[in-house]
Structure 1
Amino acid sequence: MTKQLIISKYCKIIDNMIFVNGKLVFSLKKNIQFSTFVKAAYRYNNMTYPKFFKMDNLSKLGLITAEFLSDEFKTKNVLGEEIGIILSNSTSSLDTDNNYQKTISNNSDYFPSPSLFVYTLPNIVTGEICIKHKILGESVFFVSKSFDAGYIHTLVSDLILNQGIKIVLAGWVEYLDNEYVSSLCIVKNISEKAEITKEIINFTIENLKKIITG
């Protein structure tokens, strides 16, 4: 059966605003700190996940963004093994790295923090999302100067067309010094017999770039 890849849903978080499919669904004033904003977004989603409060800011940002898309992969027709994640950013886990460095840089005030050290790898973001949503498929986190739509498009397409993955969560999650942006989308296939509507966004390099970086 012919497969047509589409972007079925997308979410962007920036400047204390959350957009789903281009529509503003939640916001706070821009001068409010990220820590306050992300907790408010957590409550807005009616989440019950205490581990969230132990995460670093990058993981909180990624998890909250994924939560707004989670209805797309919370389905009985898709197994955890059939869901993949491909994320990227340009600063890796530098925000947490810097915070951890502060705990070990002064010999007279040396207090290394295990809770910070755990998050000194960017792929912990994908791990936290996988744990929360019981995702068992391929997951990867790339670090690049900018979002490489062509490369991500190739990887996502291969997962769905050749590797048995049915749904991929893909995009960009960046946090550094209270400056942040997270833009994720759900990619999946529809059969050639599926009803085609005007709302469908074909999974092309151009559309992926527009949604993630626009």
Structure 2
Amino acid sequence: MYIQKSCRIHDRRVMVDGQTRFEASDGHASGTDFLADAFRSMGIDYRKFYKMDPLSRLGFLAAELILPQPAEADPSGEEMGLICFNSTASLAADRAYQRTIPAGDNFFPSPSDFVYTLPNIVTGEIAIRHHIQGETAFYVLRAFNPETICHIVRETIADADLHRAFVGWIDIDTDHLDARAMLCVDRPHGNSPELTPEALLQLFP
């Protein structure tokens, strides 16, 4: 497998293939505000974005920047997969949901927050947007581990007979955002690096 495109979102900056696409004017902006500002700056028309939890927004934005637009998507969507990782699962959404469950007579948990209390919801949001019908998976690891990620990606792609895959480390905890995403393909394009632990460390230091 080869890495055709990459995206990094962290430190209030959005980078695609090593080039800055957006940077917050206020380095102290909240994670939610930063993602909304980045989304608007890209001119993306997708109103459902504002209903998503921060984890889904982060993954959605990374995917939007490196995947073909839905109108240009390959009709054979089953040949493409989604493989995501992080270390916090859906902790940010879990906390938001917990805050809607006060004690006493005011008990009223929020269904709109509850729906995001699974980390793999982000893969669903991306799959719907980009018409991806192949294998999807979300793994929770202790930390970003290039060796483990490469092994899982190779095994999943081989087992599911995929030709392409969106692979992303999509992690969020309070205002800490960390997206390291790639479009992996089975054939090299130009100078596309091979998917190896060393390549991941170079792309995402």
Q: TM-score w.r.t. structure 1 length?
A: 0.87
Counterpart residue number, 2:15: 19
Counterpart check, 1:173 vs 2:165: no
The answer on whether the counterparts of 1:170 and 1:186 sit within 8 Å (CA) in structure 2 is yes
Mark the structure with the bigger radius of gyration: 1
Matches within 5 A, 1:64-83: 64-71=61-68, 75=72, 77=74, 79-83=76-80
Is the CA contact (8 Å cut-off) linking 1:78 and 1:166 kept in structure 2? no
Specify the SS of the correspondent of 2:200: helix
Give a deviation string over 1:96-121, Cα, whole Å, max 9, x none: 10111121241233121000000000
Which one of 168, 184, 195 corresponds to residue 203 of structure 1?
A: 195
Paired position in structure 1 for 2:57: 60
Answer yes or no: is 1:152 the counterpart of 2:144: no
Paired AA for residue 207 in structure 1: A
5+ residue gaps, structure 1, are none
Aligned 8 A contact 1:61 1:173 in 2: yes
2:32 aligned with 1:39, yes or no?
Answer: no
Distance 2:75 2:34 in 1: 32
CA contact (8 A) 1:73 1:83 kept: no
Runs of 4+ in 1 over 6 A off after TM superposition: none
Query: Which residues of structure 2 form unaligned runs of 5+?
Result: none
CA distance in 1, matches of 2:108, 2:74: 48
Is the Cα–Cα contact under 8 Å of residues 93 and 116 in structure 2 kept in the other structure?
A: yes
- Measured at CA, do residues 92 and 37 of structure 1 come closer, stay the same or move farther in structure 2, by a change above 3 Å? same
8 Å contact kept, 1:93–1:120: yes
Percent identity, please: 35
Could you tell me which residue of structure 1 aligns to residue 116 of structure 2?
119
Compute the displacement of 1:48 (Å): 1.3
Residues 70, 129 of structure 2: 8 Å contact kept: no
Contact 1:160 1:188 in 2 (8 A): no
How far apart are the structure 1 equivalents of 2:71 and 2:147?
Answer: 28
**What TM-score does the superposition give when structure 2 sets the normalisation length?**
0.91
Whether the 8 Å contact between 1:81 and 1:135 is mirrored in structure 2 is yes
Query: 2-side partners of 1:93 and 1:76: how far apart?
Result: 29
| Equivalent of 1:30 in 27, 32, 45 | 27
Please tell me whether the aligned partners of residues 160 and 189 of structure 1 are also in contact (alpha carbons under 8 angstroms). no
Q: Rate the CA distance shift 1:98–1:77 in 2: closer, same or farther, 3 A.
A: closer
Return the offset for 1:210: 3.4
The 1:146/1:73 distance shift into structure 2, 3 A limit, reads farther
